[in-house]
Chains A and B, each alone.
Chain A
């Protein structure tokens, strides 16, 4: 199974400041069709996860442009340019390339 490793696991951030989360996979996430199936999700307390980004860097509809995804192969990053109060919660990366698909451990973002 492909292990997804996120860091940091806890991320205290001041409002208005940037934040960055790293996600590393145990093997390359490039699929045979040429796509890289790496997604980012945000889960607020008591809610289901919401997808923010798919295929490394494509933002979902309605996701603010302060969120951006980047990376390739085995190393990926989610960046928030200016953290807002509504961004608190847990962020997960997930790979959809190698079966069984798998999630990272989650990064808990909190406001300092």
Chain B
């Protein structure tokens, strides 16, 4: 059974960098696309970007200047970095498998941007 688990700080100060990791079990991260999605409070889901081990990551243009998604095949993990955060980046962050279909999701982790 494939499982994904997000981890990282729940509180980030404005202007700093948000860093999250998704640990994958039950599947090799070299075999699928992997995605980050977020959900601001009371708002719809927003696609952040996805990565495949043999290609370049693909980022939502609305966040492209601040986002980096990377992969650590030795740990079967992939990560998200979002720089220069503001309160608008507060929300629940999810990692998921696949790009077009999102068939397996992590439970999500809440990140609050506040001083």
Which one of A17-25, A64-72, A78-86, A96-104 is at the interface? A96-104
When each residue 99-112 of chain B gets 1 if its CB lies under 8 Å from chain A and 0 otherwise, what string results?
A: 11111011110000
Report the tally of A-B residue pairs with Cβ distances under 8 A.
49
> Which residues of chain A from 37 to 53 have any CB-CB distance to chain B below 8 Å in the complex?
37, 39, 41, 47-51
* B47: contacting residue among A41, A54, A101, A105, CB under 8 A: A101
The answer to the question of B78 belonging to the interface, with a C-beta cut-off of 8 Å to chain A, is: no
B108 touches A48 (CB 8 A): yes
- Interface extent on A, as a size class? 20 to 34
> Residues of B contacting A76 with CB < 8 Å?
none
Q: Is the interface of A mostly helix, strand, loop or mixed?
A: loop
Tell me, in angstroms, the Cα distance from A63 to B107 when the chains sit together: 19
Tell me, in angstroms, the Cα distance from A41 to B58 when the chains sit together: 22
Answer whether A39 and B44 are a contact pair too, CB < 8 Å, given A48-B107, A100-B61, A100-B62. Answer: no
When each residue 26-62 of chain A gets 1 if its CB lies under 8 Å from chain B and 0 otherwise, what string results?
A: 0000000000010101000001111100110000100
Q: Is the interface of B mostly helix, strand, loop or mixed?
A: loop
Q: How far is the CB of A89 from chain B (nearest CB, A)?
A: 13
When each residue 49-68 of chain B gets 1 if its CB lies under 8 Å from chain A and 0 otherwise, what string results?
A: 00000000010111000000
Tell me, in angstroms, the Cα distance from A39 to B99 when the chains sit together: 12
Answer whether A101 and B100 are a contact pair too, CB < 8 Å, given A49-B45, A92-B45. Answer: yes
B105 touches A39 (CB 8 A): no
A103 touches B105 (CB 8 A): no
Residues of B that sit less than 8 Å from A by CB: 44-47, 58, 60-62, 94, 99-103, 105-108
| 8 A-B interface contacts by CB (under 8 A) | A37-B100, A49-B105, A50-B105, A51-B103, A54-B103, A92-B45, A97-B100, A99-B58
